[in-house]
Amino acid sequence: MHIPKYDIFIHPMDLKELKSDIWIDEPLPATFKSGKKRYEIDIAYRGSHIRKFKKKSYHVTFYKPKTFGNAHEIHLNAEYKDPSLIRNKISLDFFADIGTLSPASHHVQISINGKNEGVYLQLESVDENFLKKRNLPLGAIFYAVDDDANFSLMSPIDHETKKQLDSGYEQKIGSKDDPIHLVNFIFELNTTPRNEYEQVISKHLNIEKYLKWLAGVVCTQNYDGFVHNYALYRNGNTNLFEVIPWDYDATWGRDIHGDTMEYDYVRMEGFNTLTARLLDIPTYKKMYAEILASILENQFTIDYMAPKVEDLHNLLRPLVLQDPYIKNKIEKFDNEPELIFQFIKDRNQYLLEKLSSFI
């Protein structure tokens, strides 16, 4: 497998401006070169706490020409706190394997003004091109941008009733009327009586897809995944919402700081208002149990995941030795596959035990 190399050129004055304040969101002009092709781009830092790291992550938008590999914009993640560099990718691939919409990703090499910046993970943007590549109907996409995207009437930030029910979301594509559907969804998922819930919620949400997503979050143990780290897509044909995962580097046994996370840290039921209400309905509880049982038997196993982990690890190792930010951490990098495998073994067993008494 070949790892592409991207050369980015930023005017020294613009680069100085970019480095002067890591919290500036205003993009700066630059040139992007892949092979023999050159592109005019806008570039900016991406993420929140990750901006503080030595190795930055970037959001790139193409404007001349307007697309690169059928994408108008891409995300270049440093994966700086993940010693393996692969947790995000294997997570997003895992979601796709279990039947959930999920962004494509692959590793690349980056240089900026001739300086090697090392290994990055290129992430597909969740936008209209994401839908076109999958032959999906156009529909609204909302990004969950903070913890207010918790499917609740209450804000976990100030513990008050939300002034706006679509608080915590940023609309990426869609019409000006689409937030109304999001607001109605959040209102009804919270206020509908239990005896009417199955009938009402099925008019807003693709239940099976949601429960597959839930199982994916639970298996990979993304602690932030239940109220953050996702996007909502409202299918233009079915008018049902689906959840798309995002930012899954703090998974498979490590947290957002890169520290070890115990395999039993996140409970099998997950946590957010929507999940709690769905699992209170016997039909949906049984559906979730069947979905999770199938995943634990087929995809969330060492046999299934080991070839994927080992292939990526072997592919990246020579580049890690050249990465100026992490080349002195090669021993830790080399130990990561075994840590991931141990997590899968322990987490699988833990979930199977919980599942046995779930129904």
Tens of pLDDT, residue by residue over 156-186, are 888 899 999 999 999 999 999 999 999 999 9
Tens of pLDDT, residue by residue over 301-350, are 999 999 999 999 999 999 999 999 999 999 999 999 999 999 999 999 99
What per-residue confidence (pLDDT) applies to 45?
94
Q: What are phi and psi of 336, to 5 degrees?
A: -65, -40
Q: What percent of the chain has pLDDT over 70?
A: 100
Reported as a pLDDT band with limits 50, 70 and 90, residue 61 is very high
Domains defined for the chain, CATH in brackets = 5-77+102-124 (no CATH), 137-359 (1.10.1070)
For the cut 80, the answer to whether the pLDDT of residue 1 exceeds it is no
Q: Where are the beta strands (DSSP E) in 56-114?
A: 58-64, 73-77, 105-112
Q: Which of 102, 54, 47 lies closest to 76 in space, CA to CA?
A: 47
Q: Is the peptide bond before 156 cis (omega within 30 degrees of 0)?
A: no
Range of weakest confidence among 42-51, 83-92, 125-134, 245-254: 42-51
What per-residue confidence (pLDDT) applies to 109?
98
Show the tokens assigned to 74: 């891409």
Strands 230-234 and 141-144: antiparallel
For the cut 90, the answer to whether the pLDDT of residue 233 exceeds it is yes
Reported as a pLDDT band with limits 50, 70 and 90, residue 49 is confident
Asked if 184 and 140 touch (Cβ cutoff 8 Å), the reply is: no
- For the chain, helix (H) and strand (E) counts, in that order, are 10, 11
Q: Which of 73, 97, 101, 99 lies closest to 234 in space, CA to CA?
A: 101
What per-residue confidence (pLDDT) applies to 152?
95
pLDDT mean across residues, the chain: 95
Find how far residue 45's CA is from the centre of its chain.
17
For helices 330-356 and 282-298, the axis angle rounded to 10 degrees is 140
Asked if 249 and 229 touch (Cβ cutoff 8 Å), the reply is: no
Tens of pLDDT, residue by residue over 180-231, are 999 999 999 999 999 999 999 999 999 999 999 999 999 999 998 898 889 9
